[in-house]
Amino acid sequence: MAKFLEYVPGDSLLHRMSPAAKLVGAVLFAVACFVNSNLVFLLVMLVIALALAASCGLGRQTAGLCKAVLGFSVILAVVLVLTTPAGTPLVPLPWGYIGTGSLLAALTVIVRLMAAAIPLFLVFYVTRMSDITNAAVKQLHVPYKYAFTFTSTVHFIPVFMNDMAGIMEAQTARGVAFDGSLPKKIRLMVPLCVPLLVSSVRKTNSTAIAAEVRGFNLRTRESGYKDYPLAARDVAALGLCVALLGAAIALTALGA
């Protein structure tokens, strides 16, 4: 089973698209989600994102991602509900009220974050990390240093998650009970940041040394042997993303 943000091999349309087109398309899609606050429009975007995930056979990964984003966005939504008095008052608060507008805003935040996040994360599931780096350097003219830093960061996420799971397991075997209330859990997990930090620094250092000895600083835009030409499907997909962004801007301009 693929780990978090780990490439899943496949032959879907998204898999076959150029990495640069996927990256740019995902960014345009995410920008469109943030340009407009119309709930119906955002729901349409969410449906498109889910359909894209389903077309790649990544339902399980997307469900996990949605769960994670939901957890994060619910926190934002709660803050929004409590601090944005709008619409018809429903629940009075000492500092204002919770209204229909507050609930709508909270729902909008949840839908927006999920719709924007899915395509961005899908890019990593349907593209090899090396292809993302190479395409970013060759086609998008991103300096290799930055492209490598970015992809390394993403690459390390599942590694560190695995490390943290191993560390927690080791402490459980020593008698630490991680079940119980959230404050207790947090209190128990804080000391575990030390071994995680140590292992992260060691791994990062090893990676940096390995990159140096393999001529990291000599690498230029021309170094990659692989080309990523744009095919008709890439242009069409980018056109669709531009159209979605245009629609979002137009709806905002019209006040919808």
Partner 1 sequence: MIEFKNVSAGYDDGAPVLRDVSFSIADGEFVAFVGTNGAGKSTTMRLANGLLKPRAGEVLVDGASTRDLKVSELARKVGFLFQNPDRQICCNTVREELLFGFKALGEEGPAADAAVDAMIARFGFDPDAEPFLLNRGTRQLLALASIIVLAPPVIILDEPTTGLDFRECVKVMDTVRELNEGGTTVIMVCHDMEVVADFARRVIAMTDGRVVADGPTFEVLRDPAALKAAHILPPQVTEVALILGREVPGVPPAVAEADTVSQMVEALAAARGEEAVGSEADAPSDDVAAVLAAEEAAAPARPAACAEGSR
Residue 202: CB minimum distance to partner 1, A: 8
Residue 163: CB minimum distance to partner 1, A: 7
Q: DSSP characters for the chain? A: ---TT------SHHHHS-HHHHHHHHHHHHHHHHH---HHHHHHHHHHHHHHHHHTT-HHHHHHHHHHHHHHHHHHHHHHHHH---SSEEEEETTEEEEHHHHHHHHHHHHHHHHHHHHHHHHHHHS-HHHHHHHHHHTS---HHHHHHHHHHHHHHHHHHHHHHHHHHHHHHTT----S-HHHHHHHHGGGHHHHHHHHHHHHHHHHHHHHHTTGGG--TT------PPPHHHHHHHHHHHHHHHHHHHHHHTT-
Query: Under 8 Å CB-to-CB from 30, ≥6 apart: which residues?
Result: 116, 117, 119, 120
Interface with partner 1 includes 177 (CB under 8 A)?
Answer: yes
Interface with partner 1 includes 200 (CB under 8 A)?
Answer: no
Stretch that binds partner 1, among 48-56, 80-88, 94-102, 196-204 (CB under 8 A): 196-204
Q: Which is nearer to partner 1, 63 or 91 (CB)?
A: 63
Interface with partner 1 includes 246 (CB under 8 A)?
Answer: no
Q: Which is nearer to partner 1, 60 or 226 (CB)?
A: 60
Residue 64: CB minimum distance to partner 1, A: 12
Interface with partner 1 includes 179 (CB under 8 A)?
Answer: yes
List 38, 130, 171, 200, residue binding partner 1 (CB under 8 A): 171
List 191, 209, 223, 256, residue binding partner 1 (CB under 8 A): 191
Interface with partner 1 includes 172 (CB under 8 A)?
Answer: yes
The count of C-alpha atoms lying within 13 angstroms of the C-alpha of 238, restricted to the half-sphere facing its C-beta, is: 14
Q: Which is nearer to partner 1, 174 or 214 (CB)?
A: 174
List 74, 129, 161, 192, residue binding partner 1 (CB under 8 A): 192
Interface with partner 1 includes 93 (CB under 8 A)?
Answer: no
Interface with partner 1 includes 163 (CB under 8 A)?
Answer: yes
**Residues binding partner 1 (CB under 8 A):** 1, 163, 166-167, 169-177, 179, 191-192, 194-195, 198-199, 202
